[in-house]
Amino acid sequence: MPVVVNNIQEAVDVPGEILLLLEEIGEFVLRLEGRSPNCEISLILVDNSYIQDLNLTYRGLDAPTDVLSFNLQDDGTDFEGDSILGDVVVSLEKAVEQANSYGHSFKREVAFLSLHGILHLLGYDHETPEEEREMNEKAEMVLKKYNL
């Protein structure tokens, strides 16, 4: 169950322990949701400029956002036995802003945003109040497990 974390930005220093935590949380959620050991997710850590470009290209919104998910399994495609679920892109600059705004740690915010994106790849959504409650409950359970 590889969760590959790629830090491709230089705006925010990220301790190695956070990178390892993100891998661990991702792998835990994949196991929790009963995904195959061959299941793969890419978690890409970027700056505001990078995510703003993606947000404009894919959503038509010319502003940075905190997290974007790109699901590669929308059509149920199986890539030679491997389940490549997709990519989660997190802006670390937004994570810093939001951690300060919400009064919690950068580590918790990055974990939450990453988890939120992974849950989207697993089919969770927040379009209705019921869906939002289910997604939030799952996220809170995982954050509590990791004392975040």
- Residue span of the structural domain in which 124 resides: 3-145
Give pLDDT, residue 83: 80
Give pLDDT, residue 79: 46
pTM of the full predicted structure?
A: 0.91
Residue among 12, 86, 9, 23 at smallest CA distance from 51:
9
Distance separating alpha carbons of residues 92 and 99, to the nearest angstrom: 10
3-class DSSP state of 55: helix
Query: How long is the chain?
Result: 148
Distance separating alpha carbons of residues 146 and 28, to the nearest angstrom: 10
Q: How many domains, in total, are found in the chain? A: 1
Distance separating alpha carbons of residues 131 and 92, to the nearest angstrom: 26
Could you tell me the CATH number of the domain that includes residue 121?
3.40.390.30
Distance separating alpha carbons of residues 107 and 99, to the nearest angstrom: 8
Question: Average pLDDT of each block of 10 consecutive residues along the chain (148 residues)?
Answer: 92 96 96 89 97 97 97 60 85 98 96 96 92 94 96
Give pLDDT, residue 82: 57
Query: What is the number of other CB atoms lying within 10 angstroms of the CB of residue 143?
Result: 15
